[in-house]
Homo-oligomer: A and B are copies of this chain.
Amino acid sequence: MTILLTTGYHDASAWRAALADALPGREVAVYGVDRYDPAAIRYACTWHPPKGMLKVLPNLEVIFNLGAGVDGVLSDPELPDVPIVRLVDDDLTERMGEWVTLQVLNHHRGTLTYLARQKRREWKEDDQPAARDVSVGLMGYGTLAAHAARILKAIGYRVHGWSRSDKPADVPLFAGEAGLGPFLAATDVLVALLPLTADTRGILNARLFASMRREGIGPVLINAGRGGLQNERDILEALRSGALRGASLDVFNTEPLPPDASLWAAPNLIITPHCAAVSEPGAVSRYVAGQIARHERGDPVENVVDRSRGY
């Protein structure tokens, strides 16, 4: 029995080794590299699988998504009707917490300003609000956001969240269409951790920025969700006009971000190359092995994607 792997990376050997390590006795076939019998594939571990790759596997039982966002796999119009398991991984959650915290602090504490002054050998400090006077709004309030919220609260920030539907949370939570306006009006620093769905595509646009609080250090946009959430022309204009006071983007409409993209040189923007929370092959493979063990002893796999919601 074979596990089919597609990673989106040029070189899948680290993933292949990690999966083989976590699942001794199973064969691992890398899509586009190894030959395999389609009928032997029971599990597919995929990141942005090529369209049509999955529909030709007659005995496929579970699809494991190798990252946090499932829009890539869901965009396949001929997806087989088997459970798709979302990655819920402490390692990925913690790395995202690091990145989000760093970016909030970078904008709050003026990292780009002080680095520019350092280059000019200029000794000059700015007043700044205390964390308790800065409100951070987490948009998309799942596992990743809840972890980031715990860190941000420990620093002293006022933290609240927005979610599609109401649910218990350890921060004040705004919900649904009706909650979005009040959520934005209370937000200095917006952290987007939303899944990419028909409802959220392009949601980070000029109209949304104009609805944010304009006091203190904001509005600041931080997107660690999906590139498709953002209108990049609007972000560029907002940074140039001051409608946004700063932004940090880890994700883009086109990745890698093309060398001629104007965003590279936008003012008060920090760009990272989709590295906020990289799935670590060892940790992910252990998670996959744990779910396969559940499945094979007859328990339902966990963290199954709801296809109608899109996440």
Contact B131 A273 (CB under 8 A): no
CB pair B97–A273 under 8 Å, yes or no, is no
A98 contacts B273, CB within 8 Å?
no
Per assembly, the copies of the chain total 2
A105 & B115 in contact (Cβ 8 Å cutoff): no
Name the one of B105, B123, B126, B156 contacting A105, with C-beta atoms under 8 angstroms. Answer: B105
| A280 CB, nearest partner CB in chain B, Å | 7
Interface size class on chain A is 35 or more
- 1/0 contact trace for A197-226 toward B, CB 8 Å? 000000000000000000000000000000
Residues in B with CB closer than 8 Å to A109 are 98-99, 102
Minimum CB distance partner of A124 in chain B: B273
Residue pair A131, B271 in contact (C-beta under 8 Å): no
B156 touches A97 (CB 8 A): yes
How many angstroms from the CA of A261 to the CA of B123 in the assembled complex?
12
CA distance A114 to B126 in the complex (A): 24
A130 at the interface (CB under 8 A from B): yes
Residue A117 at the B interface, CB < 8 A? Answer: yes
A-B contact pairs, 10 of them (CB 8 A): A95-B130, A97-B155, A98-B156, A102-B105, A106-B111, A111-B270, A117-B273, A121-B264, A125-B275, A130-B280
